[in-house]
Chain A
Amino acid sequence: MKFIKRHISLIFPLVAILLGLEFFIVFDRTTDTYEKSLSSDYSIMIVAKDEMSIDDFKALDKHILGVKELPKPQALKNIYLEKSKNVNKAIPNFYEIKLDNLLGIKALEEVQKNLSESKSIKRIETFHSTYKSQYELFTFIKFSFGTFIFFMAIIGFFLIVKQMEVWNFMHAQRMKVMEIFGASLFLRSKVLINMAVLDAVISSILTSAMFVSLQKMWISDTQMEILKEHVSDVFLFSDFFILLFASIVVVLIAVFLVVINVKEE
């Protein structure tokens, strides 16, 4: 019981920090792919009186990645063909423009403004309202998640500071006595290092286990496309080593701060 009590007080805040970190990694990985798919699905429709090449468009705005010319509507073509070839020339050209990433609302308006500066372009359709709602929902989810992760990390940090105070109370006497008898910094902190590293390993395993079960049980059954499509990205084996490294760094910094703050009487 004493063993569990002694270890749980560090494992708990460590798991909180590691959960925050892993959520950040997973969320970043998943949303990055989703963001790319949103961006590739989106296009701006352009109606231009003259024929325009990709370079013409790129000269107008740096965010333009690709252009696809759309076939002119057949019915419209037939009518004009019947009348005269000159009229045919008057049929506008239709283009579908792809952007290099999922732009913010202001950046999209800027693209629209830049395109409208061209005298050849007659009309620009950005599907503004659909794009806006999709973009805002996406950024809101991102922001909410970021805030949640940030607060988890803050709580974890304060719990670790509290744990450092407990360590100081529990280990200061031993470390002071050892220093009087000539023990090196490493020997003085050895007990604490062993305990902290063990807790770091346990915390990394626990956090990894949580994500593996999340991946195997919940996400496989979910209807959320963003997760379902990238279920294998939720937890990668390499994440365990990232978590282990992060937790060991955190505990070693905490141990070092405790040890150097123990002053000989």
Chain B
Amino acid sequence: MSNVITAKNLSLSYGLEEEVIKDATFIIKKGDFVFITGPSGSGKSTLLKSFYGNLQPKEGSLVIGGLDMIDIKKSKLQELRTHLGIVFQDYKLINEWTVEKNVVLPLWISGYSTEVQSTQARRLLHHVKLSGKEDKYPMELSGGEQQRVGVARALAKNPFLILADEPTGNLDEYSSNVIWDLMENACQQLDTTVVVVTHKIPMVFNIAYRHFTIDERGSVYEVH
């Protein structure tokens, strides 16, 4: 199995502030489902941000999908991001766009034809049980539905890596279970690597997963 994320003695910080993540070394392989947990402010989201190039490593090395993230060129980073699926706690949907347009955003960015976009949107919305809501706007949907749109968008281009930052943080139990099911399916059926930052690992989880935790000092450990 190939390595999707390789971190070696990785340290992360915001500007000149104290390091949030210290000396982290780990490898995440293709098809892995990884939970990253830890107390508030431990640096879970910071670590995830570095995976999609929102934060540059301060020390050590970080390789994502074969690309060295240190001083990565803007064009390379843009290219990498078009192959990632990212899910946020606050959904980050574009409110003035319809559900369908939101879902096909990664395809639109990559220049796919409108026919491909439309077919893929229908398929994905059916997959996340939102058929018939193509023309709705995000604000017309419930939180759980908005997050399902977010997951559909993340899956739109069959990414090699899905990064999710507290994807169920704002959702009730039923909606959370739907999101976990979608993530499991993506990992199991598409062999996509999934990295999820969460406060709490779901009680019922049907596939094998790895669990990393970050302590208050910013050290990353693999629990199992």
Residue positions of A touching B, CB distance < 8 A: 173-174, 176-178, 180-184, 187, 264-265
Over the window 6-49 of chain B, the binary record of Cβ atoms lying under 8 Å from chain A Cβ atoms (1 yes, 0 no) is 00000000000000000000000000000000000000000000
B60-98 interface bits toward A, Cβ cutoff 8 Å, 1 = contact, 0 = none: 000000000000000001111110101000001111110
What are 21 pairs between A and B in contact, CB < 8 Å? A173-B92, A173-B94, A173-B95, A174-B96, A176-B92, A177-B93, A177-B94, A177-B105, A178-B94, A178-B105, A180-B92, A181-B82, A181-B105, A181-B106, A181-B109, A182-B77, A182-B78, A182-B79, A182-B80, A183-B109, A187-B109
A178 touches B109 (CB 8 A): yes
Residues of A near B79 (CB, < 8 A) are 182
Q: In the complex, what's the smallest C-beta–C-beta distance from A223 to chain B, in angstroms?
A: 54
B185 CB within 8 Å of chain A = no
Q: How far is the CA of A178 from the CA of B109 in the complex (A)?
A: 8
CB distance from B197 to the nearest CB of A (A): 15
Determine the residue in chain A with the shortest Cβ distance to B96. Answer: A174
Please name all residues of chain A whose beta carbon is closer than 8 Å to the beta carbon of B84 when the two chains form the complex: 181-182
Quote the shortest CB–CB distance from B51 to chain A (angstroms): 12
The CA-CA distance from A264 to B77 in the complex, in Å, is: 13
Which residues of A have CB within 8 Å of B96?
174
Contact between B86 and A181, CB atoms less than 8 A apart: yes
Report the bound CA distance from A177 to B153 in whole Å. Answer: 11
B94 touches A184 (CB 8 A): no
A183 / chain B contacts, CB cutoff of 8 Å: 78, 109
B54 / chain A contacts, CB cutoff of 8 Å: 180, 264-265
Q: Look across to chain B and name the residue whose beta carbon is closest to the beta carbon of A183.
A: B109
**Chain A hits for B78, CB < 8 A:** 182-184
A-B pairs, top 10 by smallest CB distance, nearest first, are A182-B81, A182-B82, A182-B78, A183-B109, A174-B94, A177-B92, A181-B106, A177-B94, A181-B105, A181-B109
Interface positions of B from 192 to 216, Cβ below 8 Å from A:
none
Tell me the bound Cα distance from A180 to B81 in angstroms: 7
Q: Chain B residues near A184 (CB, 8 Å)?
A: 78
Which residue of chain B lies nearest to A184 when distances are taken between CB atoms in the complex? B78
Q: Which residues of B contact A177 (CB under 8 A)?
A: 92-94, 105
Tally of chain B residues near chain A (CB < 8 A)? 20
Asked if A182 and B109 sit within 8 Å, CB to CB, the answer is yes
Residue of A nearest to B55 (CB): A264
Provide the bound-state CA to CA distance between A176 and B95, in Å: 13
B86 touches A180 (CB 8 A): yes
Q: Which residues of B contact A180 (CB under 8 A)?
A: 52, 54, 81, 86, 92
Q: Which has the most chain A C-beta neighbours within 10 Å: B79, B95, B105?
A: B105
B94 lies within 8 A of A181 (CB): no
A174 CB contacts on chain B under 8 angstroms? 94, 96-97
Q: Which residues of B contact A181 (CB under 8 A)?
A: 81-82, 84, 86, 105-106, 109, 153
A264 to B56, CA, bound (A): 13
How long is the Cα–Cα vector from A27 to B84 in the complex, in angstroms? Answer: 58
- Cα distance A227–B211 when bound, in Å? 83
Give Cα A89–Cα B105 distance, bound, in whole angstroms: 98
User: What chain B residues lie within 8 Å of A178 (beta carbons)?
Assistant: 94, 105, 109
**A159 → chain B, closest Cβ, in Å?**
24
20 more A-B contacts (CB under 8 A) besides A177-B105, A182-B109?
A173-B95, A174-B96, A174-B97, A176-B92, A177-B93, A178-B109, A180-B52, A180-B54, A180-B86, A180-B92, A181-B81, A181-B86, A181-B105, A181-B109, A181-B153, A182-B77, A182-B79, A182-B80, A182-B84, A183-B109
Select from chain A the residue with minimum beta-carbon distance to B86: A180
Q: Report the bound CA distance from A264 to B53 in whole Å.
A: 11
Chain A residue contacts of B80, Cβ below 8 A: 182
Q: Distance (Å) between the CB of A11 and the closest chain B CB?
A: 20
- Distance of A183 Cα from B84 Cα, bound (Å): 12
A178 to B106 Cα, complex, angstroms: 8
Return the CB mask of B127-154 against A: 1 if under 8 Å, else 0.
Answer: 0000000000000000000000000010
Bound: A184/B81 CA distance, A: 11
Q: Name the distance in Å between B169's Cβ and chain A's nearest Cβ.
A: 16
In the complex, chain A residues whose CB is within 8 Å of the CB of B95:
173
* Bound form: Cα–Cα A173–B93 in Å: 9
CB distance from A125 to the nearest CB of B (A): 74
Chain A positions within 8 Å of B153 at CB level: 181
* Residues of the A chain whose Cβ atoms lie less than 8 Å from the Cβ of B86: 180-181
Q: Which residues of B contact A182 (CB under 8 A)?
A: 77-82, 84, 106, 109
